[in-house]
């Protein structure tokens, strides 16, 4: 018997009660599955870190279901509101200056004076947040630094009984985490590439966005650790062909591969397949290594390359 629950009104209401009473619920978003808790319940937030084995200095994203709530949470100006109204709900996360001094938020914010927040584009996530009556803080629902989950079964395989409920909303549509931008200064800074393309943000803002790879020893947002999203097998990126003992994941016109992220070279399709195919490759017992074809550094390719570079990182 598993703790995976099908989506229906009764189970969403039950999950909201779990959140209200300090429990953990894994739930689907358009990006990946999140491991959720009440952002104001420090003990519940601490249990997320414990379940994932996540470093306590790594901040978490708070998920909200109402743009107006931002004003009670963080400093909001016309630029923030225009971005929210255009891109939310969706895979875009803001780093903003905190105005809520509730000490319960300190753990979710990793002690920083900023808060990281987004509005997910998934009906189950939004319904769960609204019924819970609080923002839900939620990193990806998997062990820290391992491959992110895009199905309920992935969550169960990674965390099993460490989570009270897993809501099964099917496979995630986007398949890579949200884009994170820092809006705490006059210049917009990209902290993590993700489900919203850099080019789309720049076109909307009418300005260039600075790119920061962050400080892995003191992250200002999720996804900045040098090694992250990592399989157990060693991973070689920008591979033009397979080598001995490699499970080869292709992209585009690559005939000699075990799986292809997108035969047509569609970066949206590739992003949706990335974590699923990495898991399949990692589970393959006929190979002890993984190789992935080059991915263009445009559009969602920026996010894909960020994930596979971190997944392949190795201290030497």
Each residue's pLDDT, cut to its tens digit, for the chain (316 residues) gives: 579 999 999 999 999 999 999 999 999 999 999 999 999 988 888 888 888 886 655 789 999 999 999 998 899 999 999 999 999 999 999 999 999 777 778 778 877 788 999 999 999 999 999 999 999 999 999 998 888 899 999 999 999 889 999 999 999 998 888 999 999 999 999 988 899 999 999 999 999 999 886 655 555 555 555 455 578 899 999 999 999 999 999 999 998 999 999 999 998 788 778 878 988 999 999 999 999 999 998 877 886 887 788 788 775 4
- Output the CA angle 219-315-150, nearest 5 degrees: 60
- Domain span including residue 10: 4-211
Q: Answer yes or no: do 15 and 127 share one domain.
A: yes
CATH number of domain containing 248:
3.40.50.11030
Q: Alpha-carbon distance 82 to 233, whole Å? A: 43
Residue 299 lies in a domain: yes
CATH number of domain containing 183:
3.90.870.10
Residue 8 lies in a domain: yes
Residue 223 lies in a domain: no
Residue 218 lies in a domain: no
**Tokens matching residue 27:** 């739930």
Tokens 């996360």 sit on residue: 93
Residues 6+ apart with CB under 8 A from 296: 267
C-beta of residue 194 within 8 angstroms of C-beta of residue 108: no
Q: Answer yes or no: do 136 and 51 share one domain.
A: yes
């Amino acid at each position: 018997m598993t703790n995976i629950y099908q989506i229906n009104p009764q189970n969403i209401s039950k999950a909201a009660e779990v959140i209200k009473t300090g429990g953990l619920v894994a739930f689907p978003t358009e990006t990946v599955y999140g491991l959720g808790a009440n952002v104001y319940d420090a003990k519940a937030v601490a249990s997320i870190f414990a379940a994932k084995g996540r470093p306590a200095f790594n901040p978490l994203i708070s998920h909200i279901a109402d743009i107006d709530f931002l004003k009670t949470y963080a400093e909001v100006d016309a630029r923030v509101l225009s971005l929210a109204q255009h891109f939310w709900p969706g895979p875009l996360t803001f780093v903003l200056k905190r105005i809520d001094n509730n000490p319960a938020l300190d753990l979710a914010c990793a002690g920083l004076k900023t808060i990281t927040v987004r509005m997910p584009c998934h009906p189950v996530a939004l319904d769960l947040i609204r019924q819970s009556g609080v923002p839900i803080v939620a990193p990806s629902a998997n062990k820290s630094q391992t491959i992110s989950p895009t199905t309920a079964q992935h969550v169960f395989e990674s965390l099993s009984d460490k989570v009270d409920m897993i809501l099964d909303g099917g496979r995630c549509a986007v398949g890579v985490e949200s884009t994170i931008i820092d809006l705490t200064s006059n210049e917009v800074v990209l902290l993590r590439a993700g489900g919203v393309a850099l080019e789309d943000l720049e076109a909307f803002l009418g300005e260039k966005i600075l790119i920061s790879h962050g400080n892995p020893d003191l992250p200002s947002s999720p996804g900045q650790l040098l090694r992250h999203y990592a399989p157990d097998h060693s991973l070689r990126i920008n591979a033009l062909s397979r080598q001995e003992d490699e499970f080869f994941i292709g992209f585009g016109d690559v005939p000699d591969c075990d799986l292809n992220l997108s035969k047509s070279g569609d970066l949206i399709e590739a992003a949706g397949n990335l974590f699923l195919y990495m898991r399949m490759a990692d589970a393959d017992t006929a190979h002890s290594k993984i190789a992935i074809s080059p991915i263009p550094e445009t559009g969602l390719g920026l996010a894909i390359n960020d994930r596979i570079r971190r997944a392949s990182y190795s201290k030497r």
